[in-house]
Amino acid sequence: MTSRDGGPRPTKRRARAGRVFVAPNLIAIAVFMLFPLGFSLYMSFQTWDLFTPARFVGLANFGHLFTADPLFVTALRNTVVYTVGTLVPTVLISLVVAALLNRKLKGISVFRAVVFVPLAVSSVVTAVMWQFAFNTDDGLLNTMLGWIRLGPVPWLLEPGWAMVSLCMVSVWKSVPFATVVVLAAMQGVPHTLYEAARIDGASELRQFVSITVPLIRGALSFVVVISIINAFQAFDQVYVLTGGHGGPETGTYVLGIMLFQNAFAFLDFGYASALAWVMFAILLGLTLLQLRLTRRSSMRL
Amino acid sequence: VLDQPFGRRTLLRGAGVLGAVSVGLGSAGCGDDDADALTFFFQANPEEADARLTIVQAFQRANPGIRVRTVLSGPDPMQQMSTFCAGGKCPDVLMAWELTYAGLAERGVLADLNTMLAQDHGFAAQLKADSVRDLYDAFAFDGGQYALPEQWSGNFLFYNKRLFAEAGVPAPPDRWDQPWSFTEFLTAATALTKRDRSGKTTQWGFVDTWVPYYSAGLFGMNNGTPWCHPRTNPTHLNFDDEAFIEGVQFYADLAVTHRVAPKAADVQSISTMDLFSSGRAAMALGGHWRYQTFSRADGLDFDVTVLPGGPKGNGGKSNIGTTGLAIAASSPRKQQAWEFLKFAAGPIGQALIGESGLFVPVLTSATRSTGFALAHNRIGNLAVLTDGPSHSGYLPVTPAWPKIDALMDRYIGPVLRGSRPATSLKTGLSRTVEQVLRSP
């Protein structure tokens, strides 16, 4: 770029203006993201209850978490169950829904809009709405089960069923986003491939398995990573559905609830920070593994 | 001017000026509001909030030089208080709960009121003479006095007089020194439970409007074993005691075995308060905080009675549920805050509380006053309220309470659902609580 008189000044001025425009965002990131991240890392090596001065304890918080807190194992196990229970149905349902929506039919835009509605509803509203549906005596689900003569299910009252309920809500909430991503990827698959497959006599199912799925692998990989991250960070839905103790018993005691409980109920912010960084490390490991696997399979393609 | 295009720079300048002006106005407004006012943090439902404001207004009339700014708590007052105080904005006067204040006291958030009491001999002597010792001591922790009690919020039973009469069940006891047994209570609750032809319950004998796992402990205590030993900083909680366990099991069996009380599934779509208010439950466990709700229910003719006692105890007792008023250790207005405490927890404020009908005051002079009796003229068995504070057993006072609370929910929950017997508390809950008490 050159100025009218050919000098460098306007470029410099523009660069300066650019920095000025970016500065507020950078400051916001530094204040609201980098500082809290750094502070929580610092706190994970301290014991701190908000009121008394923080005391350095080295790796004691991490040591206690891994060796002396049986609830960490429970929370980790529940989080893994919740993640798998959310991830697998989300991917399968979103594939089917996206395939159905990826057609040129009259009124398909209405169906697309309806499918995406849960995306616009807040997690807390979703959880409250589902609470009514899970009501044992006269909730929607048990009423419908009653029509086919199946007994009432104690959705939120028994530990096992409470986790199933939680996964159902999470799937309901996650499917629209996954569908948007998968549908966008499906629309990018060249039609010529399907035409060639049809000429070769491939069925619809065969086309879906052998053409669509391999070619949207990148999008699926993205959906998997995002779903795992969301599941590991689950808190608000659990808090509203089954309470701040992750009950009944420890049925829905996931890592998000454990973190909140240690920080805000027990005022043990050092321990909660250590847990947060352990969660971060697990997620980072899983994401890197997923990326490596995806890269390897794309190279094979 | 209107013909000229609205330039980008003009827009940015305008936005800057507007922003600066709004920030300036905002801070000026805040400063004006917050300058010297004494801040008072409390939790209340709308009816209680009105009574609180009555006390605050009366205080301001008596002390025109002290302005009070009230801060109404959200659903979790402990979390809110912690955040305020940790952020350097601790309210001057804080509402304190007997089960949770110890955590704040231990961390130095609350001022030791003994300093003020020592300088105010007259008031201290008057308070001592007029107080129920156990309530007052509920806020004594590690040698300090961290709050002055202002209301008794122990539990008792509300009962529907019409349903008792219709079922031919004799009226329950009218005072704490005329106890009734677990068996008599169960017989009454059974007679008061009605089912339709399909077996669906149309009227419950008993409902619980408190926290079920706390209530279970209350029945354990009423079978002759205190919750813990000692009361403050306990070294042992009696979840492994046979009598305590039997009491918990009796409470659980009311819903699980005898079906005279609703299970959790039965109260997912209707609250226990609504069941009692609408005449679909004959007895309701709760504290005075339910009085206004039940008083306003259409066609509900109710009275109050005492809790039943188990075979191994000496009659039923209530619990020392109490809230008090504390002063923040960091408050720059301690003297003003002390004047507020003296007013609200002293004879004048207590009399006003009694007359309002919204709380049970803690000073004997206020509970025995005509104003209190007039405010509760719908209650025949007034002695259940007035003698309640002196017939109450204590709950543990420990900074570890939030952890114990979480454990109780986790371990007593299955007992109340009927999936485990109460004897499971002996190995599960008891051992885990011991660990928490040893290293909180």
Q: Of A21, A47, A51, which to mutate for an interface test with B (greatest number of B Cβ within 10 Å)?
A: A51
Distance CA A129, CA B48 (A): 30
Q: How confident is the model at residue B366 (pLDDT cuts 50, 70, 90)?
A: very high
Question: Mean pLDDT throughout A158-168?
Answer: 95
**What three-state secondary structure class fits B254?**
helix
pLDDT at B7 over 70: no
In percent, how much of chain A has pLDDT > 90?
Answer: 65
In percent, how much of chain B has pLDDT > 90?
Answer: 78
* Strand runs labelled E in B164-280: 194-195, 201-208, 228-229, 236-237
**Number of residues that this document lists for chain B:** 440
Distance CA B433, CA B239 (A): 9
Annotate B107-154 with DSSP letters as a single string: TT-B--THHHHHH-HHHHHHHHHHB-HHHHHTTEETTEE--EEEEE--
Supply the pLDDT for residue A298: 66
**What three-state secondary structure class fits B401?**
helix
ipTM: 0.82
Q: Is B168 left (phi over 0), alpha (psi -120 to 50) or beta?
A: left
CB atoms within 10 A of CB B7: 9
**Residue of chain A whose alpha carbon sits nearest to that of B410:** A249
Tell me if chain B has a CB within 8 Å of the CB of A154. Answer: yes
**Contact partners, residue B354, CB within 8 Å, separation at least 6:** B360, B361, B366, B367, B369, B371, B372, B375
Q: What is the pTM of this model?
A: 0.86
* DSSP-assigned beta bridge partners for residue B343: none
| Chain A (36-55) residues lying within 8 Å, Cβ to Cβ, of chain B | 49-52
Q: How confident is the model at residue A111 (pLDDT cuts 50, 70, 90)?
A: confident
For B119-126, which contacts have Cβ atoms below 8 Å and span 24 or more sequence positions?
Answer: B120/B338, B120/B342, B123/B342, B123/B346, B126/B346, B126/B347
Q: Which residues of B313-328 are buried (b: 16+ CB within 10 A; e: fewer)?
A: bebbbbbbbbbbbbbb
Tell me if chain B has a CB within 8 Å of the CB of A33. Answer: no
| Token pair for A198 | 């049809």
Please answer yes or no on whether A136 and B79 come within 8 Å at the CB atom: no
Using alpha carbons, select from A47, A96, A133, A83 the residue that is nearest to residue A255: A83
Question: Mean pLDDT throughout A187-204?
Answer: 91
Q: How confident is the model at residue B10 (pLDDT cuts 50, 70, 90)?
A: low
Place of tokens 């509300």: B158
Please answer yes or no on whether B79 and A264 come within 8 Å at the CB atom: yes
Supply the pLDDT for residue B30: 41
pLDDT tens-digit map of B162-221: 999 999 999 999 999 999 999 999 999 999 999 999 889 999 999 999 999 999 999 999
Please answer yes or no on whether A245 and B410 come within 8 Å at the CB atom: yes
Q: How confident is the model at residue B2 (pLDDT cuts 50, 70, 90)?
A: very low
Instruction: Give the containing element (helix H, strand E) for B303.
Output: strand B302-305
Supply the pLDDT for residue A300: 61
| Mean pLDDT score across all residues of chain A | 90
What does the H/E/C string look like for B261-275?
CCCHHHHCCCCHHHH
Please answer yes or no on whether A137 and B79 come within 8 Å at the CB atom: no
Q: Of A64, A240, A249, A262, which to mutate for an interface test with B (greatest number of B Cβ within 10 Å)?
A: A249
pLDDT tens-digit map of B381-414: 999 999 999 999 999 999 999 999 999 999 999 9
Distance CA B439, CA B431 (A): 13
Annotate B317-354 with DSSP letters as a single string: -EE--EEEEEEBTT-TTHHHHHHHHHHHHSHHHHHHHH
Residues of A in contact with B265 (CB under 8 A): 136-137, 152, 154, 157
Kindly give the pairing relationship between strand B93-97 and strand B38-42.
parallel
* DSSP-assigned beta bridge partners for residue B328: B110
Distance CA B403, CA B161 (A): 40
In percent, how much of chain B has pLDDT > 70?
Answer: 92
Distance CA A79, CA A233 (A): 9
CB atoms within 10 A of CB A251: 23
Supply the pLDDT for residue B20: 53
| Mean pLDDT score across all residues of chain B | 90
Question: Mean pLDDT throughout A38-66?
Answer: 94
Q: How confident is the model at residue B23 (pLDDT cuts 50, 70, 90)?
A: very low
Residues of B in contact with A20 (CB under 8 A): none
Alpha-carbon gap: A157 to the closest alpha carbon of chain B (Å): 7
Supply the pLDDT for residue B74: 87
Q: Which of A13-27, A99-113, B156-170, B259-273 has the highest mean pLDDT?
A: B156-170
**Residue of chain B whose alpha carbon sits nearest to that of A142:** B265
Dihedral sign (CA A134, A138, A140, A141):
positive
pLDDT at B114 over 90: yes
A137, A139, A249: residue with CB nearest B414: A249
Q: How confident is the model at residue B9 (pLDDT cuts 50, 70, 90)?
A: low
Dihedral sign (CA B283, B284, B288, B292):
negative
* DSSP-assigned beta bridge partners for residue B181: B309
Question: Mean pLDDT throughout A265-269?
Answer: 93
Q: What is the DSSP letter of B171?
A: P
At B377, give phi and psi (nearest 5°): -70, -10
Q: How confident is the model at residue B25 (pLDDT cuts 50, 70, 90)?
A: very low
Please answer yes or no on whether B82 and A50 come within 8 Å at the CB atom: yes
Alpha-carbon gap: B232 to the closest alpha carbon of chain A (Å): 19
Question: Mean pLDDT throughout B46-71?
Answer: 89
| Token pair for A273 | 């920070």
Q: Of B410, B415, B435, which to mutate for an interface test with A (greatest number of A Cβ within 10 Å)?
A: B410
**Residue of chain B whose alpha carbon sits nearest to that of A245:** B406
Supply the pLDDT for residue B60: 95
